[in-house]
Amino acid sequence: MADIASGGAPLGDSGDVPLSQLPVKGRVVCRGWIESVTYVPTDRTAEFSAMVSDADARHRTAGAAAGQPARLRVVWLGRRRVPGIDAGTEVRLEGMLSAVQGLPTMFNPRYEILSRQENE
């Protein structure tokens, strides 16, 4: 498994770790497609989360034999919305990984929007 050198790489550098090869914990730079976002009710503590996948949902077929794509949960604490983070957006993320409920999770990552889904 690849691990980014101590301190992490700037978002502009290549060397992104594929989501399927994320370490259990540590600082990484990775990229993927926002699969879904979750909003919490206003009576709960502010938190905005998104599921990131290594496959662009727009190009997946329903009966694809490739299996399930690798996934990463991304959580921004203290925020109810993150501008530009919507389903279908390609992003590059940098942050510390941890496992929460068996799923790789990154809290308050740095992010770069690489592309957005066009309204069709």
Is 57 a residue whose pLDDT tops 60?
A: no
Nearest to 21 by CA among 9, 8, 34, 4: 4
Beta-strand relationship, 47-53 and 90-100: unpaired
The residue assigned the tokens 């990552």 is: 109
Question: Across residues 103-118, what is the average pLDDT?
Answer: 89
Domains and CATH numbers, the chain: 24-57+69-115 (2.40.50.140)
Say what the pLDDT of residue 117 is: 60
Handedness of CA 47, 94, 57, 20 (dihedral sign): negative
- Look up the pTM and report it: 0.76
Instruction: Name the band, by pLDDT with cuts 50, 70 and 90, for residue 5.
Output: very low
pLDDT class for 66, splitting at 50, 70, 90? low
